[in-house]
A and B are shown apart, each in its own frame.
Chain A
Amino acid sequence: MSGVLTWVFAGLFVLVIIAWYLSYTAARLDRLHVRLSGTLAALDAQLVRRAEAALELATSGLLDGATSLILANAAAGSLEVPEEHGESRELAESDLTEALQLSLTPHAVELVRDAGEAGTDQLGRLGSACTRVQLARRFHNDAVTDVRRVRRKWAIRIFHLAGHTPMPHTIEFDDEIPEHLAA
């Protein structure tokens, strides 16, 4: 009789351990998903800030007409793309980076800087936005890597602990800071 009881208790114990582990894993995954949604929102905000700073510079009259047009076009492209991150968004952001690199030649940067406080302000804002886009994208991709690794765990796959949350993907675009913007 006592033998049966021992087995029952042992079984219950194992069940409790399994339940605790599943619930622990679910909470861990939830924490990661929270972090992921935060990093993505932060990246979004920085991208908008960068595009707005670029647009502002383009419409400031401090650059020549043709350069302004290229920059304004790329900035508007970045602001117009759909909210969701996807290939079109990544393309638009890479385009903006390229446009910034093309327009901000050493000579152009010098001209804007010489225009006084308004010019240096705008360059400063743009530079800081570019830096933060880089940071935000790296931190987001770190979060994606962590989520993807945890979601490969057997417990999460078998018990569908991730629910209907889609598997995240890293966001890839060129976020190089225009060479002459710094310094």
Chain B
Amino acid sequence: MRIGIVCPYSFDVPGGVQFHVRDLAEYLIDAGHEVSVLAPADSDTELPDYVVSAGRATAVRYNGSVARLNFGPVTASKVGRWLEHGDFDVLHLHEPVTPSVSVLALMAADGPIVATFHTSMIRSRTMQAAYPIFRSSLEKIAGRIAVSEDARRTVTTHIGGDAVVIPNGVNVDRFSSAPHRPDWTGTPERPTIAFLGRMEEPRKGLPVLAAALPAVLAEVPGLRVLVAGPGDPKEVTSGLPEHVAAAFEFLGAVSDEEKASLLASVDVYVAPNTGGESFGIILIEAMSAGACVLASDISAFSRVLDGGATGELFHNEDPDDLAKHLLALLRDGERRADLAAAGRTRARLFDWSVVADRIIAVYETVIEGRMAARPEHHTGWNRFLRGGIGR
């Protein structure tokens, strides 16, 4: 198959959607398909050879956060040329309601289109404003994918119709074969727990973990808290009692390999995120690496952990409950091993080999639908009416 994939977010900075697009494209290429990815990127950003840059991205405030997007008439004609040159059997758009190359491709294309919705947080105000503009273009999408039940709910409430849920993929093998690092591995006296994510972003939940620590340290004074992710350590430790601050070890931003080793080494991986997670790919990575997971019971996490069968859940934003569960896990090595083993099995369901096959099934279904449809007439007038302006 010739597959065109459009990513609205810039490849200059890493992010969940970008990683998803990259991994999917690489899996499809390995499976023998022809793939071209269109995404915004700076000219000095190094890109894999299957990625075509749509030009420099601009930082824009949209839908409540700042995203690096790409738009404007020059970009629109670039998108048109990419489509024409690519002559794709199927076009796969990510986040089609983001004002970037995805929506430009949606407006210009008229072949079979699949769209993946990642976010679970489209603001109603944004959607109301965007609606009249997008409505008739959105009708071109023949197959909708949502990465989680929450993202699917966003589709059904804001866009209407339904979407098939296909979770994000994880390279399970990359994590399951990660080596242990002795300096991150816990001992009975000095057990280790890990936190991953931006420290200053409150919804990642580091403050909840910090609030739970005094109670945990009272019982397990040797506990080491390994924090991996960008941010200023001083902001985290300021205002904390000295012995609590001393339990923290800050690793800074870590590479993919280090992240995998960290997850494989620690006794418990704690994910205290307070909300806004649509999926929770980090939990799957942790389970793949064989970590024992303790996570807040937000709906996305609860679903990934199979309702608590493959990882402990504590009440969201409740430090006391977090402390209680963490202590119980730290004391019970057998329980930790059981959860880690269940997690490894669970993670297989989210491996790219499983996920990509389902995405390919979507492509094939959509292409078949187009082949079976009565032939379209391609007069210039028709194309103009169909919203193909600018091609």
Report B-chain residues with C-beta under 8 Å of the C-beta of A138. Answer: 162-164
Report B-chain residues with C-beta under 8 Å of the C-beta of A41. Answer: 368-369, 372-373
Q: Which of B161, B372, B376 contacts A142 (CB 8 A)?
A: B161
Tell me which residues from 99 to 157 in chain A have a Cβ below 8 Å from any Cβ of chain B: 128, 131-132, 134-136, 138-139, 141-143, 145-146, 149-150
Assembly CA distance A134 to B382 (angstroms): 33
Known contacts: A31-B140, A46-B365, A135-B365. The answer to whether A141 contacts B161 by CB under 8 A is: yes
Report A-chain residues with C-beta under 8 Å of the C-beta of B370. Answer: 38
Report A-chain residues with C-beta under 8 Å of the C-beta of B160. Answer: 145-146, 149
Contact B385 A35 (CB under 8 A): no
Q: Which among B11-19, B231-239, B356-364 touches the partner chain? A: B356-364
Is A8 part of the contact surface with B, judged by Cβ < 8 Å? no
Contact B364 A28 (CB under 8 A): no
Report A-chain residues with C-beta under 8 Å of the C-beta of B7. Answer: none
Contact B386 A37 (CB under 8 A): no
- Nearest A-chain residue to B372, judged by Cβ: A41
How many residues of chain A have a CB within 8 Å of chain B?
A: 30
Known contacts: A34-B376, A135-B164. The answer to whether A39 contacts B361 by CB under 8 A is: no
Report B-chain residues with C-beta under 8 Å of the C-beta of A128. Answer: 361
Nearest CB of B to A41, in Å: 3
Known contacts: A132-B364, A139-B365. The answer to whether A37 contacts B139 by CB under 8 A is: no
Contact B139 A150 (CB under 8 A): yes
Known contacts: A28-B139, A131-B361, A135-B361. The answer to whether A42 contacts B372 by CB under 8 A is: yes
Assembly CA distance A131 to B372 (angstroms): 19
Report A-chain residues with C-beta under 8 Å of the C-beta of B162. Answer: 138, 141-142, 145
Q: Which of A23, A35, A131, A145 contacts B142 (CB 8 A)?
A: A35
Is A181 part of the contact surface with B, judged by Cβ < 8 Å? no
Contact B139 A34 (CB under 8 A): no
Contact B372 A27 (CB under 8 A): no
Is B143 part of the contact surface with A, judged by Cβ < 8 Å? yes
Assembly CA distance A41 to B374 (angstroms): 10
Contact B372 A28 (CB under 8 A): no
Contact B365 A136 (CB under 8 A): yes
Known contacts: A27-B386, A138-B162, A139-B143. The answer to whether A35 contacts B358 by CB under 8 A is: no
Is A13 part of the contact surface with B, judged by Cβ < 8 Å? no
Report B-chain residues with C-beta under 8 Å of the C-beta of A149. Answer: 160
Assembly CA distance A34 to B112 (angstroms): 12
Report A-chain residues with C-beta under 8 Å of the C-beta of B373. Answer: 34-35, 37-38, 41
Assembly CA distance A145 to B362 (angstroms): 19
Tell me which residues from 320 to 376 in chain B have a Cβ below 8 Å from any Cβ of chain A: 358, 361-362, 364-366, 368-374, 376
- Nearest A-chain residue to B377, judged by Cβ: A30
Is B136 part of the contact surface with A, judged by Cβ < 8 Å? yes
Dominant SS among interface residues on chain A: helix
Contact B361 A142 (CB under 8 A): no
Report B-chain residues with C-beta under 8 Å of the C-beta of A15. Answer: none
Contact B361 A37 (CB under 8 A): no
Contact B139 A32 (CB under 8 A): yes
Nearest CB of B to A57, in Å: 20
Report A-chain residues with C-beta under 8 Å of the C-beta of B136. Answer: 28
- Nearest B-chain residue to A28, judged by Cβ: B136
Assembly CA distance A141 to B139 (angstroms): 13
Assembly CA distance A149 to B144 (angstroms): 17
Nearest CB of B to A26, in Å: 8
Known contacts: A131-B358, A135-B365, A139-B369. The answer to whether A39 contacts B161 by CB under 8 A is: no
Report B-chain residues with C-beta under 8 Å of the C-beta of A150. Answer: 139
Assembly CA distance A142 to B376 (angstroms): 20
Report B-chain residues with C-beta under 8 Å of the C-beta of A39. Answer: 142, 369
Contact B142 A146 (CB under 8 A): no
- Nearest A-chain residue to B382, judged by Cβ: A27
Contact A139 B372 (CB under 8 A): no
Is A45 part of the contact surface with B, judged by Cβ < 8 Å? yes
Assembly CA distance A135 to B30 (angstroms): 24
Report A-chain residues with C-beta under 8 Å of the C-beta of B144. Answer: 139, 142
Report B-chain residues with C-beta under 8 Å of the C-beta of A38. Answer: 142, 369-373
Most chain A beta-carbon contacts within 10 A, residue among B136, B144, B163, B362: B136
A selection of 17 A-B contacts at a CB cut-off of 8 Å is A31-B140, A34-B374, A34-B376, A35-B369, A42-B369, A42-B372, A45-B368, A46-B365, A128-B361, A136-B369, A138-B162, A138-B164, A139-B366, A142-B163, A143-B142, A146-B161, A150-B139
Given contacts A41-B369, A135-B361, A136-B369, 12 further A-B contacts (CB under 8 A): A23-B385, A24-B385, A27-B386, A31-B139, A35-B369, A38-B373, A42-B369, A136-B365, A139-B142, A142-B163, A143-B142, A146-B139
The 8 closest A-B pairs by CB, nearest first: A38-B373, A41-B372, A27-B385, A38-B369, A42-B369, A142-B161, A145-B161, A42-B368
